Structures are given as C-alpha cells and as structure tokens.
Structure 1
Amino acid sequence: MIHIVTDGSVDMPPGWAEKYNIHTLPLMVRFDENIYTSGLDISPINFYDLVKQTKIVPKTSLPSPGQVIDFYRSIARKGEKILSLHVSSKLSGTYSVIKLAARDVENEFNVIPFDSGAGSIALGFMCREARIMENAGYNIQAIINRLEAIKRNLTVVFTMDTLEFARLNGRVTAVQSLLGSFMKIKPIVYLKDGLLEMVDKVRTRNSSLDEVLFAVERRIGQKPVHLAVVHANDPDEARSLSHLVKQRFVCREVIITDLSIPVAANLGPGAIGIVAYPDEI
C-alpha cells in the first residue's frame, strides 16, 4: 500500500481522511508570540474567536525537516512508499521542507513529493483520486500522471471579504496596490500557475459572488466537473453558493468545506470560492 500524506492546508469533508486513509501533516499558525498547531491545539472556531479577540492578523509557520521525518516514521515502516502531496511551492515553503526531508530518509522510505500547485480542497481531491487509483491497481506513475492532469485543469476562483489578511501575508499578487480608499473593495482572485492573482475587483459582496460564478463558467462551461465551495467562517453564504452552482453547472458532486486554518490565516474570515476540475481529462 502507498501511504498518502498531505499537509494542514488541505480541506476535506468529514470522513475522507479515514475512508481514503489520508495522513495530514499539521501546520502551525502564529498570533504574535503564541504558536498553535492546526487540528491539535486550535480548531476553526477557536481560530476565528482568537482573530476577533486579539485583532491580530495571524501568520503561518513551516514545519522543520525533522518534524516531517518524525511524521513519516509515525505512519510508515522502513522500505514503504509515501506519496507526499503538498500546498503550492509558490505559496508556501512547505514543499521545500518536504523535499529536504525526503532526501534525508531516502535510505529509509521511498518518498515521492508532489507539488499540487494549489491547496485547500484541491489537495483533498488529489489525495482521494490517488487512493482510488491505488486501490484500483494503478502504479505510482499512472497516479502521478493523473494528478498532473488535474493540476493543469484545475479551476480555483474566490473572493475575500477583507484585504487586510492577504495584504499583510503577501499571498495574493496586486493586493498591495489596493490600499487607502480601496480597502472596502472585494477582489476576485484566481489561482494561476500556482500563484493567487487578483484579476478583478468589485464593490459589493453580491457582485463579487456573481463574478466568481461567471469566472468559473468561462473556464468549465458545461463540462461535467467535481466541484467544491470553500469558505472561511461563512457557512450560510457557502450553502447559497452551492445551490447556485448546482443549477448552473454539470456537477458530478458538490462539496461544501471550511477553509483550513493555515489558508484562512492568509485570506481572512469571509473568504469564499469555488474549486473545480473536469471529470474527464
């Protein structure tokens, strides 16, 4: 069996980790001098409460190669194969740490690092596809080829309710040019070549959600897709958006999931978007 590992930037519906035997390397988030580990000593509810109480824009922290190696040793035995799928290397240094750790244990495990070029539920989708293919008897190269195809055909579009988190964390290009009187605008952000890029801006929340839908429609048309609505502490809006996508697109499935704490720390409360990829690639 291949051990499938991802990191704490992943989003998955409840039960996926157990059903598809996916192991998640925790990532850390820092509020000034206080460091919390996502999924261990801070939950999404605690996270948003801390944001409100402290008024601090949190930052994410990388694991060390030693922590990654300890994690591998906790799930695998010597000689076993580990497929390690991670958040875009252009958005985080996590993948670089993974490669260092993989080299350090090359005589102990066969670690195959994979740069997803994304994060959030895109990582969850990729992990699920890898497990389904492995269970069906596909070899590791066929699995990697499928993941690369998903990566090339992935659509990620979202909007943010506040620019403050992205501005301070520097994860979205062009946000720095929107300071001053433009702080109330709602940016439309695409994932392009592993980077988050602001491609448009509107004045209201409703307009921003309409633009997200238009952007996704331009990309996927009426192709059957696997689709997820992701949100940062805005479940009601996510449910409303999910109803709209079901009416508008040909969906094999529609998933609603919370943004993971490391992702929400960079985008801020109220971020909401759509992640989709074609059923046939």
Structure 2
Amino acid sequence: MPKLHVVTDSGSDLTSRVLRKLAIHVVPLTVQFEEEIFHDGVDISVEQFYERLQSDDVMPSTCQPSPIDFVQVYEKIAEPGDTIISVHLSTKMSGTYQSAVLAGTMVEPDIKVVTVDSKCASIGAGMIAAAAAEAVQKGLGLDEVLDLVGQAVESLHVYFVVDTLEYLQKNGRIGLASALVGTLLNIKPVLTLVDGEVAPFEKIRGKARALKRLHDLAAEMREKHPNRRFRVGLSHSMSPMEAEKLAEALREILPLDGEIMIGPIGPTIGVHTGPGTVAMFAYPVG
C-alpha cells in the first residue's frame, strides 16, 4: 500500500527524540568556517558550533543541500507509489526549498514529491513538519495532510528577540529589519516574519523587557483566537534558562494543545541569529 513520508531540513531544529517519534527524515544543510565544512547535526554539535562562532574571527556561512542530496534521501525512504511531503525553510531565507523542488523532478517517476514552503525557520518550520507527520501517523490522506499543513503555515505567529542584529546583517538575512541597524545601545528589537522574511515588530530597551513583551503577545493571541488551543514552540541559541522561563509563563497564558516544543537553534539558523536569541512560535488549532 502506498505510504506518505515526511522530510525536512536541519533548519527545522527538531530534536532527535521528535524526529524518531514522528518518523521525520532530515536533509542537512552545511555550515562553513573558512575552509572547514560541516553537516549540521551530523559532524558538528550545537555546542561546538557556538564555541566556534564566538571564537573564530571569520563569520561562517551556510549552504543549502544540493538536489542530489535530496534525491538520495527520497529514493532511500520511498517505494514506487509513495508520496513524500518535504517541508522546508522559508524561500526568503534559503534556497533549500528550490533544491527540494528540483529533486522532485529527478526521482524515480513513481515517487511523488510535494514541497511545502514553511515561510518560517527553526522550530517554527519544525512545527509544520511535525504537524504533517502527526497527521500521517493518524492515517489522514495526502489532501487532508496538506490542508492541515497549509492552515498551520498561514496561522503561525512568530516573534523573536536577538542579542544583536550583527549576525542577521552580516549574513544578508536581516530583511525588512535593516532599518533597526545602528539604533541605540541596549535596544533589543522584537522581530517577526512577514511572508517568510525577517521584519521589525517593536523596539524595546533591555532584553528582560523584550522577553516580557512576548508574554503580552501570547495573551493577545489568546484574545484573537478565543476558544482555541495553541501549538507552541520555543527555540533558543544557548539561552535555555530564558526559554524555560518563557515556557513557564506561556503554560499559564495559553490553552495548549500538547507540550511546548523546546529546543536549541542549531548551526543552520544560528549562523544568522547569533547567540542569545529566543524565539516563540504559536498557531491555533481546533
């Protein structure tokens, strides 16, 4: 009987436990420090990455998987007649989606590949992939899975606080938030994503106040979607205590659908955000 499979990339920042539980397959991006190239989550750990990021003089870069990288994974997991749902980083941030689309034209003709632009990154993209995988495990058909995924993509709220805009600026991912560069010392902008592109939301003095603002934004989400429960994810770059403190607050503020998904921001996204970032992702269900 034909099967549905879910694939994502390392920019989704899903933990190994979640990947195993939901049978999600990952195609890694690479991160490059000068002449050294590492596959995210394969031959460099999160801890090793941030240590290098802060100690090396040269800013690292990332590279999307090639179409061949995707083809190898697709043909390894799928049999003729199967369908692969491939969920990836926002097209405004990476060419990974385009590589997956091209790979879909290169696989065996009896294998169907449906690519999904999450319009997000980190655990936000991971939540979309997880929603697809959970629907597959429940036995939903392709059209039902894609309808559910589409709703999640369009209703996902994203807010994040960075310690500095330096990394987003140097790596060309600052997007619409470029207007904030050069603002006053200790201004910690709350950023968001607009159609998958980084954009400014609010300027706040001090990180503690910026993180507290995320509590308020969660309360606004609850008011905007009364009688709805929320899927919530948090990611952080070497700031586990700040993420857990935020999680504790969100458990009181929002009616949750399942556990809050918490995890570190890996090399793929960490190159662009730098250390000290905390991100909140949420969408209503039911």
Shorter chain as normaliser: what TM range?
Answer: over 0.9
Partners of 2:178 and 2:195 in 1: how far apart? 20
Cα distance, 1:249 vs. partner?
1.8
Cα distance, 1:141 vs. partner?
0.7
1:241 to 234, 239, 246: 246
Q: Match for 2:265: what amino acid?
A: L
Task: Name the structure 1 match of 2:154.
Answer: 152
Partners of 1:180 and 1:137 in 2: how far apart? 51
Relative to the length of structure 2, the TM-score reads 0.91
Cα distance, 1:234 vs. partner?
0.4
Partners of 2:128 and 2:270 in 1: how far apart? 20
Task: Name the structure 1 match of 2:202.
Answer: 200
Task: Name the structure 1 match of 2:233.
Answer: 228
Q: Any stretches of 5+ residues in structure 2 without a counterpart?
A: none
Contact 2:127–2:233 under 8 Å retained in 1: no
Contact 1:155–1:216 under 8 Å retained in 2: no
Q: Match for 1:137: what amino acid?
A: G
- Report % sequence identity: 30
Cα distance, 1:73 vs. partner?
2.2
Q: Which of structure 1's runs of 4+ aligned residues deviate more than 6 A? A: none
Task: Name the structure 1 match of 2:165.
Answer: 163
Partners of 1:110 and 1:93 in 2: how far apart? 20
Partners of 1:179 and 1:153 in 2: how far apart? 29
Partners of 1:132 and 1:197 in 2: how far apart? 30
Farther off after superposition, 190-199 or 92-101: 190-199
Contact 1:167–1:175 under 8 Å retained in 2: no
Contact 1:159–1:271 under 8 Å retained in 2: yes
Q: What secondary structure is seen at the aligned counterpart in 1 of 2:191?
A: strand
Q: Match for 1:279: what amino acid?
A: V
Contact 1:88–1:117 under 8 Å retained in 2: yes
Task: Name the structure 1 match of 2:97.
Answer: 95
1:269 to 269, 275, 285: 275
Report how many residues are paired.
Answer: 280
Q: Any stretches of 5+ residues in structure 1 without a counterpart?
A: none
Offset from partner CA, 1:196-242 (integer Å, 9 cap, x none):
21121122011111222223332343532111221111011111111
TM alignment of 1:51-62, pairs within 5 A? 51-62=53-64
